[in-house]
Chain A
Amino acid sequence: MKNTFKLGVTALVLTIAVACKKEKIEPTTPTTGTDVVTLKIEHTWQDSLEFALNTDLVNPLTGDSLNFTTFKYYISNIRLKKNDGTWWTQPNSYFLLDLANGTTPSVQLTGVPYGEYTDVEYVLGVDSTRNVSGAQDGALSPSLGMFWSWNSGYIMLKAEGLSPDASMGGSFAYHLGGFSGSNNVVTTKSHTFVGNSLSVTGNGNCQIHLSAAPQTLWQTAGSVSMNSMIHMPGSGAKTMADDFYGSFEFEHIHE
C-alpha cells in the first residue's frame, strides 16, 4: 500500500513537472481527463463555393450540369497522434456522413484524453474486416441502404442526382465500394497539423477542419455522358473513389 502510494505521488509530481515545462498549461488546468474533439468536413465546389444538394451546379472539370439528390459516404477508424508519438484510437469508429443533413458534416470524437495532438488519421470507406463479418449495427446497419445485398460489401459512397448530360435517362447514380484486390477503394488518410498542435485540455471547443471536393469524382472518369451509373466494385468505382478521396485536405484546427 505504502509503496503504491509513494509511486502514485512520484507519478503525480512527475506529471506536474512535465506539464509545468509547457507554458501553455495553466497551473489550474487538470492534467488528466477526456474531452470531445469535433472533426468537421467542409464540402466545396469549384474550390470557393459551398457544395449543395438539390441545387444546379456545373462541374468545372467536365462542364456537366449536375443536381445532386444524394451524397453520403463512410469515414471510419479515426485516430489522433500525440506529440509523444503514441496514438489515441477511437473505439468502434464508424460514421455515415449524409450531406442531406448539411454539407459540413461533423463527427464527434468522445473520450479523447487531455494532451497535445499533432496528426489526425482516418479511413475513407469501411475496412475489409467489417465487410466480411456478418450483420453489423449502428452506422453499419444494412438497413441504412449502404450494403449490397447480392454481392456482399458496403457501398462506401453513394452519389445520385439529375443531369441533362447523363448517358442514362437524365440521371446519375454512382455506388462506389470494393474492399479486396485491385477493386479495393478503402483509403487511409493522414494529415499533420502543419507545425501546430491541438491542445485537448477540457474546454470542449477543439475542432479539426478538413475539406473535400465532390467534383473530383469525375477528375479522371470524365463526363457523366460517358458513364452515369456504377453499381458494383470494379475499376470504374476505384477511379472515382480514388479521385474523390484524394481531394481531402487539412484546413485548420482550433481550440
Chain B
Amino acid sequence: MISTDHLNLSTSMNKLKTISKLLVVLAASSLVLSCRKAIVEPYKKWGFNSPDYFPAPVYNFENNKQDFKKFTLGRALFYDPLLSSDGTVSCASCHANSHAFAGHNTALSPGVNNLVGTRNSPSIVNLAWSPSFMWDGGINHIEVMPIAPLTNPVEMNESLANIILKLKASERYKKLFREAYGTEEVTDQRILKSLAQFMMMIVSNNSKYDQMKRGEVSFTATEQQGYSLFQQKCSQCHTEPLFTDYSFRNNGLDLTFSDQGRYLITQQSNDLGKFKVPTLRNVLMTYPYMHDGRFYTINQVLEHYNTGVKHTSTLDPLLDNGIPLTASEKTQIIAFLRTLNDDNILTDYWLSEPKE
C-alpha cells in the first residue's frame, strides 16, 4: 500500500482522500440503512429445533404456534423487572442467561426486598420436553408456570391484575402486544402464552455431548470412561439425552424432611422427601446443587452418592448401597459432565436480554 516512490506520494494521498470521503458517505448511508432496520444480525436462525435423538416435545405447539412476534414479546417480559411489585426483580434475576438460566450461583435467589424462598433456582433449559414443573412437580403446564413466581410474596410479589395494568400503561408494550396479537389488549393469557414462547426456545442441544452424538467430535479417553460410568451408575434417573426421566425420587439427602417435596402435592406418604430428578445439562455452571442448593461443588455431590446416602423408607431402591466411586472414577465422571456444558445457551443472540 505505502508507495516508496516519493513522486507518486501526493497523488496517492489525493486518491486516499477521495477514498476516505467515499467511505464516509458509505458509512453514513449504511447508518441510515441500519437505523431503518435496527435489528442486529443474529448468527443463528430463529426457530425451535429438536435434534433427531431427542424425544418428541411434550409441549403442544398447536395451541400456541411458534411466532416470532409473540416470542419477542415473551423475551421482553422475561427480562423486565416491571413485572415485580417494586420493579426490581425479573425472571432473569433468578434464571440468568449467563448461568444457563439458573440462579447466580447462590443456594437461594433473592426476590423483592431481598426475601428468599426455600428452594434453589433451577436451570430452565429444554422445558418443551418437561411434563411437570417445580422441584415437586406441582405445576402441570409451562403456560401457568410463571403465575407462581409472579405472585409469590418472596419472589416477584405482584398480582396478575396489576401486571396487566402496568403493561397497559406502557407505550413499549402497547406496540409489542399489537405486533404479536393484532390489538393492544393485554390479557393474562397473552402474557403467559408469550412467556411460554420465549421459554420454549431455551433449548440446550449443542454441548460437546451433542456434537459427539451427531458424530461431529469424539470424546477424550477420560470423557469416554466417565460416560461409561455415568451410563452404569447415573442414567437410570438422569436419563439421556435430556439427563432426567422427570420422575420424583428420594436420592438420600436427609433423614427427616424439612421440605416434604412431592408429598406437598400428592399427600401420599410414599412421596415424602421425593424431588424431581433435575437435568444435568450445563451442570458444572449451575452450582450449588440439589433442591435447596446445599452442595456447593460437584465433588460434594459425588461424595454424597459415594458415602452420604441416608436411608429412609422412601429412599430410591437404586441407592440402597449408595454409588461407590473411587477418586479416579469421580474425575472421569466430572470430565464427562463437563461435556454437557453448552456455550450456545450463554451466547445465543435470541436468548439474550433484548435492547428496548
Contacts and interface: CB of A to CB of B under 8 A. Distances in A.
A141 B191 CA distance: 11
B140 A135 contact: no
B134 A150 contact: yes
Interface string A171-204: 0000000000000000000000000000000000
B290 to A, nearest CB: 20
10 contacts: A132-B140, A134-B196, A135-B141, A135-B188, A137-B189, A142-B147, A143-B188, A150-B134, A150-B138, A151-B138
B139 interface: yes
A132 B141 contact: yes
B139 A150 contact: yes
Nearest to A233: B267
Nearest to B195: A135
A131 B144 CA distance: 10
Given A143-B164, A152-B144, A136 B134 contact: no
A149 B139 CA distance: 8
Given A143-B159, A147-B147, A149-B147, A134 B64 contact: yes
Contacts of A152: 138-141, 144
Interface of A: 131-137, 141-143, 147, 149-153, 234
Interface in B115-148: 134, 138-144, 147-148
B138 A142 contact: no
A142 B159 CA distance: 10
Given A149-B144, A149-B152, A152-B140, 17 more contacts: A131-B140, A132-B140, A134-B141, A134-B193, A135-B192, A137-B188, A137-B189, A141-B187, A141-B188, A142-B144, A143-B160, A143-B161, A147-B144, A147-B147, A149-B151, A150-B138, A152-B139
B63 interface: yes
Given A134-B64, A136-B189, A137-B188, A142 B160 contact: yes
B267 A234 contact: yes
B261 to A, nearest CB: 13
A151 B138 CA distance: 4
B128 to A, nearest CB: 13
Interface in B186-213: 187-189, 192-193, 196
Given A141-B189, A142-B188, A135 B148 contact: no
Contacts of A131: 140
Contacts of A147: 144, 147
Given A150-B139, A151-B138, A135 B159 contact: no
B217 interface: no
A26 to B, nearest CB: 45
A134 B144 contact: yes
Nearest to A181: B266
Contacts of B16: none
Contacts of B255: none
A132 B144 CA distance: 9
B265 interface: yes
A202 B198 CA distance: 49
Nearest to B152: A149
Contact of A149 (B63, B141, B148, B264): B148
A183 to B, nearest CB: 9
A132 B139 CA distance: 9
B190 to A, nearest CB: 8
B123 to A, nearest CB: 20
A246 B139 CA distance: 30
Contacts of B63: 133-134
Contacts of B188: 135, 137, 141-143
B338 to A, nearest CB: 34
B139 A137 contact: no
A113 B148 CA distance: 43
A135 B160 CA distance: 12
Contacts of B144: 134-135, 142, 147, 149, 152
A150 B143 CA distance: 13
Interface in B138-192: 138-144, 147-148, 151-152, 159-161, 164, 187-189, 192
B112 to A, nearest CB: 16
Nearest to A138: B189
Contacts of B264: 151
Nearest to A134: B143
Among A132, A137, A142, A153: residue with most chain B CB under 10 A: A142
Contacts of B267: 234
Contacts of B164: 143
Contacts of A142: 144, 147, 160, 188, 192
A134 B142 contact: yes
Nearest to B147: A149
Contacts of A153: 140
Contacts of B152: 149
Contacts of A135: 141, 143-144, 188-189, 192-193, 196
Given A143-B161, A149-B147, A149-B151, A134 B192 contact: yes
A186 B192 CA distance: 25
A96 B188 CA distance: 17
